[in-house]
Amino acid sequence: MDKPSAIAALVLQFGLAKQHIASGIGPYIEQLDEHERACAAAATAANGGAAQTGAGAPGAGAARVADAVSGNGDQLAAQSAQTSKRQRAALDAAEDSDDDEDATRPVKRSNSGYDPDAAAFLVGLRRRHLSALAQRTLAAQTNYLADLKRAKRDLLATGSAPSFPLELWDDILANRAIDFDKIFTASFSHRIEDLADWLFCFHRWNEAVCTAFPFRRDELIVYLEFFTDLFNSIHKSHHSRVIQADAAIRNAASSDPGITLCDKERLSVLAMRHVSPWGADISASRSEPAGRRPPSRPNRLTGQSRAGSSGEICKNYNRGVCQRDDCRHIHRCNRSGCNESHPAIDHETTQGGGGRAGGRK
């Protein structure tokens, strides 16, 4: 860099720093003068003569340059100070304007129109104790429900979701009860009938639930153990009651966040309503609409009805060979238009006035 450029750069820097230019730039100009004199002396020595160092005492050049530029530097500093004042004033005015607008601008509400602060259920609502597991499940469920479609899309986009009916993933993420018959009929043509069918559905459902709620895996292991023991404790002819108990318990858990499926004491109470002969819901059938009773089963000899019948007429009874008091089928005549309590083998005899045990009522 040559001397004029160096001086200009120094003037600009001192002006922006708001320092007095004459006193600040002098030492630098003196260094530049010394450098010029050294160069001139070297050139004179090389030429064998004396060189003129310029008029005036040493440092005079620096003083003259400083005096020449001091006026312009002071002017630049003054202009810079005025500009800064104007900028600060403009910023202050803008901030005051923003404050006024914020004070008068209405508060934005959600498009749904729901005001959480005005929710009536907050008045007198009592806090309920939930286990740590129930709290985690409720928190995850609430998060999914905030945008259920996106949660389902993100889950399936991972490519790691287990095999499960696509239309049931919404219910899984929302922690709703799943109808096992919907899982089963997606692969087979009939509904759940026994333990093997139920286990097939449970394992599919278990993998789906543990994908959305990984922390529930231990809970569902306990639930599987409970119902496996229950199936093994109930005669196969009454496994439909166990299947009904499972559906009822999962429905209760989905509607009550305080119920977890690892509380065996609570599970026993809920299951008793469906598997015990004195249970409150023992007469309800999982395949019948609410409020209707299942078909009845008559006694082998008297033809009286019993609960839990398959609804089909016993072929062995009509051949006279059924000896089971706990037969699941109806003991009535299968002759067309008869439907009496005698077996078909005795139809002709009973119509003539005779008959054997189990004849006309």
**What is the predicted pLDDT for the residue at 39?**
78
Is residue 358 situated within a structural domain? yes
Last residue within a domain, chosen from 215, 242, 275: 275
Q: Are residues 269 and 300 both part of a single domain?
A: no
Q: Are residues 248 and 342 both part of a single domain?
A: no
Q: Are residues 73 and 195 both part of a single domain?
A: no
Q: Are residues 171 and 205 both part of a single domain?
A: yes
Q: Are residues 301 and 260 both part of a single domain?
A: no
**Of the listed ranges 11-20, 196-205, 224-233, the one predicted with least confidence:** 11-20
Q: Are residues 226 and 334 both part of a single domain?
A: no
pLDDT at 222 over 80: yes
Average pLDDT of 116-126?
81
Domain count, the chain: 3
Is residue 99 situated within a structural domain? no
Q: Confidence class of residue 133 from pLDDT cuts 50, 70 and 90?
A: very high
Is residue 126 situated within a structural domain? no
User: Is the distance from CB of 211 to CB of 161 less than 8 angstroms?
Assistant: yes
Residue 74 domain boundaries: 3-48+58-85
Q: Are residues 269 and 210 both part of a single domain?
A: yes
Q: Confidence class of residue 286 from pLDDT cuts 50, 70 and 90?
A: very low
Q: Are residues 151 and 267 both part of a single domain?
A: yes
Q: What distance in Å separates the CA atoms of residue 353 and residue 233, rounded to the nearest whole number?
A: 46
Residues constituting the chain = 361
pTM over 0.85: no
**What is the predicted pLDDT for the residue at 276?**
86
Q: Confidence class of residue 304 from pLDDT cuts 50, 70 and 90?
A: very low
Please give the angle made by the CA atoms of 170, 121 and 270, to the nearest 5 degrees: 55
**Which amino acid is located at 279 in the chain?**
G
- Region label for 6, one of left (φ > 0), alpha (ψ between -120 and 50) or beta (otherwise): alpha
Query: 321-346, pLDDT tens digit by residue?
Result: 787 777 878 888 888 878 888 888 88
**What is the predicted pLDDT for the residue at 43?**
76
Pick from 117, 165, 172, 173: nearest CA to 147: 173
pLDDT at 58 over 50: no
Q: Count CB atoms within 10 A of the CB of residue 234.
A: 17
Pick from 56, 55, 57, 10: nearest CA to 32: 10
pLDDT at 55 over 50: no
> pLDDT exceeding 70 applies to what percent of the chain?
63
Is residue 329 situated within a structural domain? yes
Average pLDDT of 318-322?
81
Q: Are residues 265 and 137 both part of a single domain?
A: yes
Question: Token digits for 223?
Answer: 């639930």
| Residue whose tokens read 């979701």 | 161
DSSP assignment letter at 187: T
Pick from 188, 194, 252: nearest CA to 227: 194
Average pLDDT of 294-306?
43
Q: Are residues 139 and 242 both part of a single domain?
A: yes
pLDDT at 7 over 80: no
Question: Token digits for 36?
Answer: 């010029």
**What is the predicted pLDDT for the residue at 111?**
62
Q: What distance in Å separates the CA atoms of residue 148 and residue 144, rounded to the nearest whole number?
A: 5
Average pLDDT of 205-221?
97
> pLDDT exceeding 90 applies to what percent of the chain?
38
pLDDT at 53 over 50: no
**What residues contact 324, with CB distance under 8 A and at least 6 apart?**
300
Query: 63-113, pLDDT tens digit by residue?
Result: 554 454 455 555 545 555 565 566 566 656 655 555 555 555 555 545 668
Average pLDDT across the chain, whole number: 76
Please give the angle made by the CA atoms of 280, 285 and 287, to the nearest 5 degrees: 155
Side-chain-side CA neighbours of 357 within 13 Å: the count stands at 7
Q: What distance in Å separates the CA atoms of residue 321 and residue 346, rounded to the nearest whole number?
A: 12
Is residue 12 situated within a structural domain? yes
Q: Confidence class of residue 1 from pLDDT cuts 50, 70 and 90?
A: low
Is residue 36 situated within a structural domain? yes
Is residue 281 situated within a structural domain? no
**What is the predicted pLDDT for the residue at 156?**
96
Q: Are residues 198 and 241 both part of a single domain?
A: yes
Q: Are residues 147 and 248 both part of a single domain?
A: yes
Average pLDDT of 210-223?
97
* φ and ψ at residue 313, rounded to 5 degrees: -75, 135
**What is the predicted pLDDT for the residue at 283?**
52
**What is the predicted pLDDT for the residue at 65?**
46
Average pLDDT of 226-230?
96
**What is the predicted pLDDT for the residue at 23?**
61
Is residue 199 situated within a structural domain? yes
User: Is the distance from CB of 361 to CB of 303 less than 8 angstroms?
Assistant: yes
Please give the angle made by the CA atoms of 78, 79 and 81, to the nearest 5 degrees: 65
Query: 241-285, pLDDT tens digit by residue?
Result: 999 999 999 999 999 999 999 999 999 999 999 998 887 776 544
